[in-house]
Amino acid sequence: MSERILPDATYARTVLGSGPGLVLAHGAGSSVSNTYGPILEGLAAHHTVVAPDYPGSGETPRSTTPLDIDEIADQLVAAAVAEGLETFALHGYSLGGPIAIRAAARHPERVTALVLTATMAYPNNQQALTIRVWGKLAATGDRRLVSEFLFPHALSPQALEAMPAEQLEEVLTYAAAEVADGTPEHAELATRIDVRDDLAALRVPTLVITTTVDHLVPPTLHRQLAETIPGAELAEIPTSHLPMVERPEEWQNLITDFLAKHNA
């Protein structure tokens, strides 16, 4: 298969560290800083991290047309190459998982390893219904309402109930302020994304990290990835959909230990 021609790298991006390449694909309604903030420095300790923000996240302008997974996947790769990385590992979180899978499928010559956290090949009915409501709420512009809707889905009951009322209020206010402008487009893409046909052809070391009490992306979908991708390993972390909030150090170690094991 001939190498695909890459587009110009137009997405805003975060670049940190040195060493082997590691490209990060963040979650929907979020950004690089919100998805990976607590572990970015740790990931960059032994890697050159390149992390683009999708349209409507970070400093990347919002899209005026529906998002396309192939375009986003190609932009991830283009950003890495623009920063001097000819090959690299990929990590995808939540919506970033199928995007990373598509990038690996479209550019297999460049990808050395794949790590997927709290993600899926396609949304099941439970997830799709939640995402639709989330997208409709985001389209109203009421970010506080979006935050209040998502938290019971994204945090484990233990983490939610452990917060005193004052702390919960602070967290909701912070989360509302960080809702990405492009959330409606991200949610719309998440409802129709489907990379099941890409999975069997993946030929790189792959780790699937399942967030075992995830109510937003059900763990059955994580396990389906591990069962379908040839040779994939499965690791568990006992959190909700937000390991960066509940167990960031453990999450980081799962990623970096796997990459070190495979010299990626």
Regarding whether 91 and 77 lie in a shared domain, the answer is yes
What pLDDT does 210 receive? 98
Regarding whether 202 and 110 lie in a shared domain, the answer is yes
Give whole-number Cα distances, 258 to 89, 91, 97, 115, 233, in Å: 11, 11, 17, 8, 10
Whether residue 188 is contained in a domain is answered as no
Regarding whether 131 and 104 lie in a shared domain, the answer is no
Q: Taking the CA of residue 160 as centre, how many other CA atoms within 13 Å lie in the half-sphere pointing to its CB?
A: 15
Query: Which runs of consecutive H residues, i.e. helices, occur in the chain?
Result: 32-36, 40-44, 69-82, 96-106, 125-139, 143-154, 157-161, 165-177, 183-192, 196-199, 219-228, 243-246, 248-261
* pLDDT tens, residue by residue, 128-165: 999 999 999 999 999 999 999 998 888 888 888 998 99
Integer Cα distance of 156 and 45 in angstroms: 29
Q: What percent of the chain has pLDDT over 70?
A: 99
Whether residue 138 is contained in a domain is answered as yes
Integer Cα distance of 220 and 84 in angstroms: 37
Q: For Cα atoms 23, 24, 29, give the angle at the middle one, nearest 5 degrees.
A: 150
pTM: 0.96
Among 114, 149, 177, residue at a domain's last position? 177
Regarding whether 169 and 68 lie in a shared domain, the answer is no
* pLDDT tens, residue by residue, 99-121: 999 999 999 999 999 999 999 99
What pLDDT does 130 receive? 95
What pLDDT does 147 receive? 93
Regarding whether 209 and 79 lie in a shared domain, the answer is yes
Q: For Cα atoms 152, 153, 154, give the angle at the middle one, nearest 5 degrees.
A: 95
Regarding whether 156 and 25 lie in a shared domain, the answer is no
Regarding whether 139 and 22 lie in a shared domain, the answer is no
CA dihedral 206, 209, 210, 212 (to 10 degrees): 150
Whether residue 186 is contained in a domain is answered as no
Count of domains forming the chain = 2
Regarding whether 225 and 159 lie in a shared domain, the answer is no
Whether residue 5 is contained in a domain is answered as no
Whether residue 183 is contained in a domain is answered as no
pLDDT at 2 over 90: no
* pLDDT tens, residue by residue, 212-221: 999 999 999 9
- Furthest-apart CA atoms within the chain: distance in Å: 57
Q: What percent of the chain has pLDDT over 90?
A: 90
CATH code, 19: 3.40.50.1820
Regarding whether 141 and 103 lie in a shared domain, the answer is no
Regarding whether 171 and 215 lie in a shared domain, the answer is no
Regarding whether 112 and 242 lie in a shared domain, the answer is yes
Regarding whether 162 and 90 lie in a shared domain, the answer is no
pLDDT at 1 over 60: no
* pLDDT tens, residue by residue, 16-36: 999 999 999 999 999 999 999
Whether residue 86 is contained in a domain is answered as yes
Integer Cα distance of 78 and 252 in angstroms: 25
Instruction: Name 50's Cβ contacts closer than 8 Å, sequence gap at least 6.
Output: 13, 14, 15, 21, 22, 23, 24, 79, 80, 83, 85, 88
| Tally of CB atoms within 10 A around 33 | 16
* pLDDT tens, residue by residue, 33-58: 999 999 999 999 999 999 999 999 99
What pLDDT does 153 receive? 87
What pLDDT does 231 receive? 97
Domain that residue 211 falls in:
13-123+194-261
Residue 208, strand partner residues: 116, 234
Whether residue 27 is contained in a domain is answered as yes
Nearest one of 206, 198, 195, 204 to 69, comparing CA atoms: 195
Whether residue 184 is contained in a domain is answered as no
